[in-house]
Chain A
Amino acid sequence: MRRFPVNLVLGAALAGSVTLVALLSFIWTPYDHAAIAVTNKFASPSFAHWLGTDQLGRDVVSQLMVAARNSMIVAFVSVVLGGGIGIVLGVYASARGGWVENLIMRVSDLSLAFPALLFAIMLAAVFGPSLQNTVIAIAFINIPIFARISRGAANQVWTREFMLAGQAAGMGRMTLTFDHVMPNIAAAIIVQATIEFAVALLAEAALSYLGLGAQPPAPSWGRMLSDAQTLLYLAPQLAIYPGLCIVISVLGFGLLGDSIRDLSDPRLRRER
């Protein structure tokens, strides 16, 4: 069944180029992304401005590049934060078992049922919209997701005989968690993290679109999209560019995560 892994290659190419562009923006953008040039607004694509300029005459390519960086930082920090907490809770629940496990999993089930967007809006309403609150909101929705998956994977590891052997060796459950559970669930978690990264990118775009995320002048695909909305008849391309960027990056990381999962365990594909 080893066909050419289209999804993997496509996903890796898309995700890779978005990441490269984001990294590049640290050292180089064609222009200062925030530099306003009212005289040159709505410029069409040219050699000077590859994708033209926006309603304030800012270079679109530079904005998209910096926005890529910002979105990825938000997605990365929130997945690492939420994932980290979730994994700790998950493997701890699995190692302890009994009522501790039950409690942790019930609570995480509850928070999983809570609409994520609603939570972000609440957060913004109480503390004001900011990038920081976006990160917290996205991290928060990741906690139960990672708690669930890592507990499930850890429970599987605990049924393996080498865990008994480790106990027989006289190791405590927490040591065993570090020595055996973590390395054996790492692959599953990395895959999940890639997928959640795509979801976080989308969430960040959505929140910024609603005006709850990145605040001006920090550029963000979501905000660029909502800014362009009012000018849809005048300059439709200004909505298309950030939209395309969102699609490409979400698709890229989503495909990448999915195909790694399928590669690492072909059985999952059929049983999903």
Chain B
Amino acid sequence: MLDVSNLSVRFGDAYALRDASLTVHPGDRIGVVGESGSGKSMLAQALMGMVPESASMSGILKIDGTEMTRATEAQWRALRARRVAMIFQEPLAALNPLRRVGTTVMEPLRTHLGLSRTQARARTLDLFEEVGLPDPEQRLAAYPHELSGGQRQRVLIALALACDPKLLIADEPTTALDAEVAQRITDLLVRLSRDRAMALMIISHDLQVVARATRQLLVMYGGDIVERGETRKILSAPFHPYTRGLLAARPRPQLARPVPGTKRPRLPTIPGHIPALVDLPAGCRFSGRCPAELSRCRTTRSTEFRTGTGLAACHLLNPAERSKS
């Protein structure tokens, strides 16, 4: 249903997303993880036809077989909400501060599905209940600033689910939720994906959420998809040096045992500074921070090679490279 190849998003010379390719079938559940600023939201926005006006987009993006890279706003509007919907990363950015959240959720129900006021209201209440918003009846009349962070996020989730989209892109849907509610929401999304063959794309920093909800995984760094494959396999046996570094940086609760009088132990990180978008190395974006760097990494980009668990774009996998060492 979704076919993307060599999709790039540029701000001037700076690539926020570089040559991304992927296909999505109905019922697929894809996770996206990666460094902050690595282009995950940009990928999501591109799939929604919502890249910022200052950006230029190139490549091929087909939704249901229709090429959409040059599509007009009207064409996109016909797709959004019902075919593709998105849960935005920052609720305050996505909600109109002047509107009651009930009105916000009811609007697409009325314009897209043609429901009457009372029907839309009832459906909104159902949705609020489904996402576990307490006191749904009263929340209808609340303004965004009157809700807690997690409640706002659930309003956005309800909004995205309102029109039964065929592809749901969830950009950090659980950042403001405690583990219990986060689990409930991920389970809800997975159930919807199973029951309605809805394709699901979850962007998340929460590896637990990704592991629980998705079957395939994309790992991004500096605008590139650096590794992909089956979620469980990558999480247990990552190949790309960035993925390894990322997984090694997971905080472990055991660290919570400070010995009195000593310094608190520091968490493992990936060493090095993240360069500005324009200063990223032309080849592998991770070169300069990579512990296993080869001489050509900085200048030439590797194609994707088969790993034990999927594909990774890394010169270390190149048979020619391996025979040399």
Tell me if chains A and B make direct contact, with any CB pair below 8 A: yes
Residue in contact with A2 in the complex, picked from B73, B96, B98, CB distance below 8 Å: B73
A230 to B57, CA, bound (A): 67
Find residues 153-190 in chain A having any chain B CB closer than 8 Å to their own CB.
Answer: 156, 159-161
A159 near B96 with CB under 8 A, answer no
- The residue in chain B whose Cβ has the minimal distance to the Cβ of A157 is B97
Contact with A along B72-85 (1 / 0, CB 8 A): 01100100000000
B92 near A156 with CB under 8 A, answer no
A267 to B92, CA, bound (A): 17
A156 near B98 with CB under 8 A, answer yes
Find residues 49-97 in chain B having any chain A CB closer than 8 Å to their own CB.
Answer: 73-74, 77, 92, 96-97
Give the number of chain A interface residues (Cβ < 8 Å): 7
- The residue in chain B whose Cβ has the minimal distance to the Cβ of A3 is B74
Residue in contact with A267 in the complex, picked from B73, B99, B143, CB distance below 8 Å: B99
Chain A residues with Cβ below 8 Å from B74 are 1-2
A44 to chain B, nearest CB (A): 52
Chain B residues with Cβ below 8 Å from A160 are 97, 145
Residue of B77, B98, B145 contacting most chain A CB atoms (<10 Å): B98
A267 near B97 with CB under 8 A, answer no
Chain B residues with Cβ below 8 Å from A1 are 74, 77
A156 near B97 with CB under 8 A, answer yes
B268 to chain A, nearest CB (A): 32
A161 to B77, CA, bound (A): 30
A2 to B75, CA, bound (A): 12
A159 near B73 with CB under 8 A, answer no
- The residue in chain A whose Cβ has the minimal distance to the Cβ of B98 is A156
Chain A residues with Cβ below 8 Å from B92 are 161
Find residues 181-203 in chain B having any chain A CB closer than 8 Å to their own CB.
Answer: none
- The residue in chain B whose Cβ has the minimal distance to the Cβ of A162 is B92
Find residues 1-26 in chain A having any chain B CB closer than 8 Å to their own CB.
Answer: 1-2
A159 near B99 with CB under 8 A, answer no
Chain A residues with Cβ below 8 Å from B99 are 267
Chain B residues with Cβ below 8 Å from A2 are 73-74
Contact with A along B94-136 (1 / 0, CB 8 A): 0011110000000000000000000000000000000000000
A161 to B92, CA, bound (A): 9
A2 to B73, CA, bound (A): 8
A149 to chain B, nearest CB (A): 14
Chain B residues with Cβ below 8 Å from A156 are 97-98
Chain B residues with Cβ below 8 Å from A267 are 96, 98-99
A161 to B149, CA, bound (A): 12
A172 to B145, CA, bound (A): 22
A160 to B97, CA, bound (A): 8
A161 to B147, CA, bound (A): 13
B39 to chain A, nearest CB (A): 26
Chain A residues with Cβ below 8 Å from B145 are 159-161
Find residues 28-86 in chain A having any chain B CB closer than 8 Å to their own CB.
Answer: none
A159 to B74, CA, bound (A): 33
Chain A residues with Cβ below 8 Å from B73 are 2
A159 to B99, CA, bound (A): 13
B204 to chain A, nearest CB (A): 24
B189 to chain A, nearest CB (A): 28
A2 to B72, CA, bound (A): 10
Chain A residues with Cβ below 8 Å from B97 are 156, 159-160
A161 to B97, CA, bound (A): 11
A159 to B146, CA, bound (A): 10
- The residue in chain A whose Cβ has the minimal distance to the Cβ of B144 is A159
A252 to B226, CA, bound (A): 56
A204 to B69, CA, bound (A): 53
A151 to B99, CA, bound (A): 18
A159 to B145, CA, bound (A): 7
Question: Which residues on A are within 8 Å of B, measured CB to CB?
Answer: 1-2, 156, 159-161, 267
Question: Which residues on B are within 8 Å of A, measured CB to CB?
Answer: 73-74, 77, 92, 96-99, 143, 145
Nearest first, the 4 closest Cβ-Cβ pairs linking A and B are A159-B145, A2-B73, A156-B98, A156-B97
For the A-B complex with A1-B77, A160-B97, A161-B92 known, give 10 more contacts whose Cβ atoms are closer than 8 Å. Answer: A1-B74, A2-B73, A2-B74, A156-B97, A156-B98, A159-B145, A160-B145, A161-B145, A267-B96, A267-B99
16 A–B contacts, CB within 8 A, in A order: A1-B74, A1-B77, A2-B73, A2-B74, A156-B97, A156-B98, A159-B97, A159-B143, A159-B145, A160-B97, A160-B145, A161-B92, A161-B145, A267-B96, A267-B98, A267-B99
